[in-house]
Amino acid sequence: MSETVKSIERIGDILLLLHNSEEKLGVSEITSRLDLNKSTVHRLLATLEMKGLVEKTDSDKYGIGLRIFAMGLKVSKEYSILEIIKPHARRLMEEVGEVINISILDDNLNGKYRTIMVAEEYSSDSVLLANLHVGSFSDAHISAVGKCLLAFSKKIDWTKVREDALLKYTENSIVSKKELLEEIDNVKRIGYSFDNEEREVGLFCVAVPIFDAKGDACAAVSISGPTVRMKNNNLQGKIDALLQTQFEINRVLKTLD
């Protein structure tokens, strides 16, 4: 293998490691995890930083750079399924007056299932409680979209789910594997899922899966808002609107192959 190919492979390994890390990493951590020479890691990080593909913090830690984020957004914009979903999500936002998120499932190198928000629809009247933005991650077990995707995706490795440590974010977070599996079974039964202040106190979400032409859950759409408003202001009406949106999107996606 030529040195050029080796460098490209190492760059890919570094970017994937940073992408899948829960926190920014220092040179020593990257060197240890990838079993690379420290001077090599320094050199590759300097190149990646110059190109805007990684960013260095004041504490000399590295994370994915804004240029990677911008590239990801461009891919998202060109992703045909997302383009089909977005107009429906906007109409749903106008109907219910709450924040609408579109998310997909990500399985990182450590086997932890997380969701990635790929689009968001909201009005100036919407109250945004969560510190989330397009491109951000959430652990699947504490989000409505995550539970939907765990329930309906055909690609889930349940061994990984059973072995994964479930982190606690609020008093309502599910941390028991037994409780999570029971929750997933209930989501399969009723067809939608809730996040009842499991990721953030004061935030309530309801989500449905979106299915591709092969019947696999390729995304999830959620309605999010303050718990008091969501629960006390016609929650069932919002669920019905979400299910109708799901039906309309799935009807279109069934025609794609």
What CATH code is carried by the domain that includes residue 54?
1.10.10.10
Q: Are 58 and 34 contained in the same domain?
A: yes
Residue 139 belongs to domain spanning: 79-253
73 occurs within a structural domain: no
Q: Are 136 and 21 contained in the same domain?
A: no
74 occurs within a structural domain: no
In the chain, count of helices (H) and strands (E)? 10, 8
pLDDT band at 213 (very low <50, low <70, confident <90, very high): confident
- For 113-155, the pLDDT digits (tens) are 888 888 778 765 655 555 567 777 888 899 999 999 999 998 8
Q: Are 107 and 26 contained in the same domain?
A: no
What is the pLDDT averaged over residues 57-84? 73
Q: Are 16 and 143 contained in the same domain?
A: no
Is residue 26 within 8 A of residue 62, CB to CB? The reply is: yes
CA atoms of 122 and 225, how far apart (whole Å): 11
Domain count, the chain: 2
Q: CATH no. for residue 182?
A: 3.30.450.40
- Output 109 or 255, whichever has higher pLDDT: 255
44 occurs within a structural domain: yes
pLDDT, residue 74, reads 56
13, 40, 67: which is the final residue of a domain?
Answer: 67
Is residue 51 within 8 A of residue 14, CB to CB? The reply is: no
Q: Are 95 and 194 contained in the same domain?
A: yes
Q: Are 91 and 201 contained in the same domain?
A: yes
Q: Are 167 and 42 contained in the same domain?
A: no
44, 67, 90: which is the final residue of a domain?
Answer: 67
* pLDDT above 90: residue 242: yes
67, 87, 111: which is the final residue of a domain?
Answer: 67
Q: Are 112 and 189 contained in the same domain?
A: yes
Q: Are 97 and 217 contained in the same domain?
A: yes
Q: Are 119 and 238 contained in the same domain?
A: yes
Q: Are 61 and 85 contained in the same domain?
A: no
Is this structure's pTM higher than 0.85? no
Structure tokens at 85: 């979903």
pLDDT, residue 78, reads 47
Q: Are 84 and 143 contained in the same domain?
A: yes
Residues 6+ apart with CB under 8 A from 52: 65, 66, 67
Which range among 13-22, 50-59, 234-243 has the greatest average pLDDT? Answer: 234-243
- For 73-118, the pLDDT digits (tens) are 555 544 678 888 989 999 999 999 899 999 988 865 455 788 888 8
Instruction: For the chain, give the mean pLDDT.
Output: 85
